[in-house]
Amino acid sequence: MASALLKLDDTFKRHKNWKVGSLKYNLHKKAEASLNAGLDLKDAVKLPEGEEFNDWIAVHVVDFFNRVNLLYGTICRYCTSSTCPVMCGGPKYEYFWQDTDKYKKPTKLSAPEYISELMDWIEALINDESIFPIDAGIPFPKGFVNVCKKILSRLYRVFVHVYIHHFKEIGKIAGAEAHINTCYKHFYFFVTTHNLIEKKELEPLKELSAKICK
């Protein structure tokens, strides 16, 4: 299903892959196998026995980055500065962009500008081997989990925007609704199981979560 969606628009998406044979690659394949085997998502996100927590988080952060890129890529042609002049999730939730480079103060951006900045920012972080080490034996930096929390909370905002403002477009693409729902449930169970996003950040999709994440 993912490959069919990918063909719709390859221009936006970025991908990060672990080196074949590395510990994190093997963990990624283990997580993927659990999903493909039909394991309950609540169980699939649990830390496997004998594995390190930081490795498990790192693998999932990269995986969610790739998946959310894919999902947004299916509707990015509909998400423009004209249709979505503000990055928001309905009238109650508006998101401002801030980083340590171009936007040092919270700045109002259109949704496509915000999401593009977000993906560039995440891509730079996960490609930085001092933060996301590739080789086994190289320790994660102090504060690694906090970096991942920030990445995941910002990725969640893409789900919020897509569900609230572009679900009509999702519904027009064969198989896309089931795909985004599965991806969202996987993401939701992971971040709630491991307490990686504050409850207040999850409020915009509270009703959806109650409905599909039972």
Task: List residues forming the annotated binding site for Zn(2+).
Answer: 79, 84, 161, 166
Residue 94's φ and ψ, nearest 5 degrees, are -125, 135
Contact 204, 89 (CB under 8 A): yes
**Contact of 18 with 28, CB cutoff 8 Å:** yes
Please enumerate, by residue number, every residue annotated as part of a binding site: 79, 84, 161, 166
| Contact residues for 79 (Cβ-Cβ < 8 A; gap 6+) | 72, 111, 112, 115, 161, 165, 166
